[in-house]
Amino acid sequence: MKPINKIHLILLTIFVSAIGASAQDARLRFDNLASLEKNASEVVEVNVDGKLLQLAKRVLLKVKDQDAQKIGKAIEGLEGVYVRSFNFDSENDYNIADVDSVRSQLSSPGWEKLARVRSKKDNQKIDVYMMFRGQDISGLAVILSEKKQIALINVIGPIDIDTLVELSGKMNIPEISISKDDDQNDN
């Protein structure tokens, strides 16, 4: 093989690895959540990527519902949606260290803090991080922890957040609201 072709091959390999690495960087690891799952009274786990995601996108763009088509356009470049949601019966029924281990992944290079909410009243912590590839969003992460609830959200790929927020509650499935009012009602 000629030297020039070898160099091209090496450069190509590096280029492809870089692309793959950047894509994987947006993916959070939800490996060490077994203890959370064990103690939770309700667990919601969503993993939508690959062919499943393509199928869902096709359906959304196929129907003639306006909201569904808006959502379809908002997630056109989406590569994956991963959600872990845990509800607990009593306060402090989980180890906050499990959540912090996921939060620590957001301190790696590439992630940029978009929003941070802290509420001592409800022991509420919300962190919103985004990863960019040039001007485009390549990843979104939302970590929420409250007294009786934990939500870990990881979205990979470009996504229109404004449209998602606008259509919140119009997605034809019951809106899953995470609200501090639940604690007040229980007390």
Among the candidate windows 2-10, 19-27, 101-109, 172-180, which touches another protein by CB under 8 A? 172-180
Q: What is the Cα–Cα distance from 9 to 7, expressed in whole angstroms?
A: 5
71 contributes a contact to another protein by CB under 8 A: yes
The token pair at 82 is 């991963």
Binding to another protein in span 109-168, by CB under 8 A: 115, 117, 126, 128, 140, 142, 144, 151, 153, 155, 161, 164-165, 167-168
Q: What is the Cα–Cα distance from 17 to 5, expressed in whole angstroms?
A: 18
User: Which of 172, 181, 185, 187 is in the footprint of another protein by CB under 8 A?
Assistant: 172
DSSP at 107: G
Which residue, 16 or 114, is less far from another protein as judged by CB? 114
Cα dihedral 85/89/93/95 (nearest 10) = 0
- Of 150, 116, 158, the C-alpha closest to 26 is 158
Burial class (CB in 10 A: 0-12, 13-18, 19+), 161: middle
User: Which of 14, 19, 21, 176 is in the footprint of another protein by CB under 8 A?
Assistant: 176
CB of 12 to another protein, least distance (A): 34
- Find the angle CA(65)-CA(75)-CA(62) to the nearest 5 degrees: 35
Which residue, 31 or 162, is less far from another protein as judged by CB? 162
106 contributes a contact to another protein by CB under 8 A: no
Among the candidate windows 5-13, 19-27, 45-53, 88-96, which touches another protein by CB under 8 A? 45-53
CB of 13 to another protein, least distance (A): 34
40 contributes a contact to another protein by CB under 8 A: no
Q: What are phi and psi of 78, to 5 degrees?
A: -65, 145
Residues 6+ apart with CB under 8 A from 100: none
Q: Which residues bind another protein (CB under 8 A)?
A: 44, 46-48, 52-53, 55-60, 62-65, 68, 71, 75, 81-83, 85, 115, 117, 126, 128, 140, 142, 144, 151, 153, 155, 161, 164-165, 167-169, 171-179
